[in-house]
Amino acid sequence: MNIAELEGEKTVKTLAKRLLAEPTKDTPKTTQAEMEAALLRLNPQLSQIGDLEKGAPIVVPDGFALAPDESAAPTRALTDELLRQAESTLASLRTVIQQRTEQFSAQSNQVQAWLKSQQAKDLVKETPELKAVFTDAATAAKVLPKEQDATITAETKALDKVAAEVKVFRTTNLTTSATIRSGGITKPTS
């Protein structure tokens, strides 16, 4: 596995073109489409490539003839930085989920309050056919927060699992680095 940096490409096609070497008799012939598919599989964030910053790390798939100097094997420092970024992204995602939950709850409460308001009652008196719509809206405003809570709980559990795996991987990476630096040759335990 190699790592490359995004150099401002705005499409996966241009990124793949930069990373692929011209095929020779000694290198496997791969198509542009195969490289693009592999890049997207290993880097789901590339589906939003236009939103990524220049210098963002990209995992380059093995088994392709790669252009020289366009990617490199990951170093411990890069691995550590990628793990820090993953942990930071998970924390940010957790914050966004919490904010969205609070917003959704507040909106649901506002809908319920308005449906009970005098303004809503007056509107139903003027337009009786709205009564069924308002009744359905009131039911949805009560049910949707419970459904939202169940979804948020599932997403949070999934995030917790990913965060735990990143933490284990980071610990293993740090232990391995320390073992190598100290000249030890034993395999670290997790």
32 pLDDT above the threshold of 80: no
User: Please, are residues 39 and 3 in contact by the beta-carbon 8 Å criterion?
Assistant: no
DSSP annotation of 96 reads: H
pLDDT score recorded for residue 185: 41
pLDDT score recorded for residue 180: 47
Task: Provide mean pLDDT across the span 135-158.
Answer: 87
Give this prediction's pTM: 0.46
Please give the mean pLDDT across all residues of the chain. 79
pLDDT score recorded for residue 187: 39
Q: Which of 10-19, 29-38, 128-137, 169-178 has the lowest mean pLDDT?
A: 169-178
Q: Tell me the two tokens of residue 15.
A: 């990124």
Q: Tell me the two tokens of residue 143.
A: 């049910």
What is the spatial distance between Cα 123 and Cα 130, in angstroms, rounded to a whole number?
A: 8
